């Protein structure tokens, strides 16, 4: 040991090729050290005078005192690497620092081992870091270009939605006026009904596209209020009733007095989307079972289940992917562009809810689960 530690019988440490020092547990001041620590640390840092002037945090700038304290409090070891310069040669040293009890007093034991390979590792890290930074910059530039292209696309679709709405509303208005004047038995009356149905379908598609563009551009903040589940379900079922009767699909809707925190119009649209999907992807004579279950005082679950089984297992996870069209939809030329469920899921999340879909246990069909905050 150095001349400052003659009162301890630890001269054996001077023959070790390890830098060893003992520091005060509270102040981190170096109390004792061996020759290797003196040579590698004190001399390299220019502190070669009184040992009690040396502080562990000063000698090891890469050491984080707060992290060291947390490690010592957990009775674990703290590791840190420091590079010293001796005779113009860089000497990396790996230090292991832990708490030690000597003569019933707690100290900090510092053990350092030379590790010349650390320089090579550091150079490799710096090399990889420069490559990583360059790649990150390229990715950020590509992301920025992609965002710009997406904004241009969104602006185009938004403007198109507005431009399409005006003439579409005019067509539907004149068709509705004509329907009043035509005789019920007239062939023109039936043709006019086809115009109205196709027109409203197209208008609904335009509205969905417009809503989709809005959610792509920015997250819409919905004003939520206390909404009657029964009222929204009744509106949605009534809206879909004619199509369900045409396709011979039975809608089984429950009676409920539950109140949820939601946006009434948006919630009704979600119900319409789920019921319409149940009709379009069902088999003649099929059914849609709607159930309401209060999970607890703060959450309610509304499920929409069918037994048709026309969605493949590997397609269920893709149902909420924008513009996804199932193989059944494509094979049977079912109208739609694959954004209705995406919008429904996003709106559910904006209402602090969640919309998911799973395969029925008996593999007969699928069930959509909508979870919403419950008021009472």
Identify whether residues 333 and 242 lie together within a single domain: yes
pLDDT at 52: 47
Q: Which helix (H) or strand (E) holds 287?
A: strand 287-296
pLDDT of 114 strictly over 80: yes
Instruction: With CA atoms as reference, report the closest residue to 299 among 261, 272, 264, 356.
Output: 261
Query: What token pair was written down for 18?
Result: 């390890």
Domain-ending residue, one of 190, 217, 244? 217
CA–CA distance, 257 with 61 (Å, rounded to integer):
67
CATH code for the domain in which residue 17 is found:
3.30.450.20
Domain holding 362, by residue range, is: 225-373
pLDDT at 8: 42
At 116-152, the pLDDT tens digits run 776 666 666 667 777 777 778 888 888 787 777 767 7
CA–CA distance, 261 with 267 (Å, rounded to integer):
10
Beta bridge partners of 92: 83
CATH code for the domain in which residue 152 is found:
1.10.287
* Alpha helices in the chain, H assignment, sequence order: 35-37, 43-45, 56-59, 65-73, 117-181, 187-217, 229-246, 264-280, 327-331, 340-350
124 CB-contact burial (10 Å; exposed 0-12 / middle 13-18 / buried 19+): exposed
Identify whether residues 126 and 106 lie together within a single domain: no
pLDDT at 5: 43
CATH code for the domain in which residue 347 is found:
3.30.565.10
What's the chain's average pLDDT?
Answer: 82
Question: Which residue carries 């209402």 as its tokens?
Answer: 351
Confidence of residue 324 (pLDDT cuts 50, 70, 90): confident
At 245-294, the pLDDT tens digits run 988 999 999 999 999 999 999 999 999 999 998 898 888 888 999 999 99
Identify whether residues 230 and 184 lie together within a single domain: no
Identify whether residues 110 and 145 lie together within a single domain: no
Q: How many domains does the chain have?
A: 3
Identify whether residues 239 and 339 lie together within a single domain: yes
Identify whether residues 110 and 133 lie together within a single domain: no
Identify whether residues 143 and 230 lie together within a single domain: no
* Threshold 0.85, pTM exceeds: no
């Amino acid at each position: 040991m150095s001349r400052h530690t003659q009162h301890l019988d630890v001269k054996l440490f001077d023959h070790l090729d390890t830098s060893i020092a003992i520091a005060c547990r509270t102040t981190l001041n170096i109390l004792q050290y061996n020759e290797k620590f003196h040579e590698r640390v004190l001399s390299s840092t220019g502190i070669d005078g009184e040992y009690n002037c040396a502080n562990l945090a000063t000698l090891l700038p890469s050491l984080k005192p707060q992290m060291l304290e947390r490690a010592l409090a957990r009775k674990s070891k703290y590791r840190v690497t420091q590079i010293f310069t001796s005779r113009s040669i860089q000497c990396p040293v790996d230090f292991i620092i832990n708490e030690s009890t000597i003569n019933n007093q707690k100290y900090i034991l510092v053990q350092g081992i030379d590790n010349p390979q650390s320089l090579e590792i550091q150079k490799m890290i710096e090399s990889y870091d420069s490559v990583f930074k360059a790649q990150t910059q390229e990715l950020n530039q590509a992301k920025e270009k992609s965002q710009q292209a997406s904004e241009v696309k969104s602006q185009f679709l938004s403007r198109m939605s507005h431009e399409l709405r005006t003439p579409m509303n005019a067509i539907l208005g004149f068709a509705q006026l004509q329907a009043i004047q035509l005789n019920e038995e007239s062939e023109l009356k039936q043709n006019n009904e086809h115009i109205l149905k196709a027109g409203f379908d197209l208008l609904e598609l335009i509205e969905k596209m417009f809503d989709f563009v809005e959610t792509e551009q920015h997250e819409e903040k919905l004003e939520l209020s206390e909404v009657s589940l029964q009222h929204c379900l009744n509106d949605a079922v009534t809206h879909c009733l004619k199509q369900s009767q045409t396709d011979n699909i039975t809608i089984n809707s429950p009676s409920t007095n539950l109140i949820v925190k939601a946006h009434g119009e948006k919630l009704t649209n979600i119900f319409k989307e789920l019921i319409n999907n149940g009709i379009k992807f069902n088999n003649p004579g099929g059914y849609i079972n709607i159930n309401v279950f209060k999970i607890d005082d703060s959450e309610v679950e509304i499920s929409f289940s069918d037994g048709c089984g026309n969605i493949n297992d590997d397609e269920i996870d893709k149902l909420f992917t924008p513009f996804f069209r199932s193989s059944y939809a494509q094979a049977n030329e079912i109208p739609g562009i694959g954004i209705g469920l995406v919008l429904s899921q996003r709106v559910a999340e904006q209402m602090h809810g969640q919309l998911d879909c799973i395969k029925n246990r008996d593999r007969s069909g699928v069930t959509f689960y909508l979870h919403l905050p419950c008021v009472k």
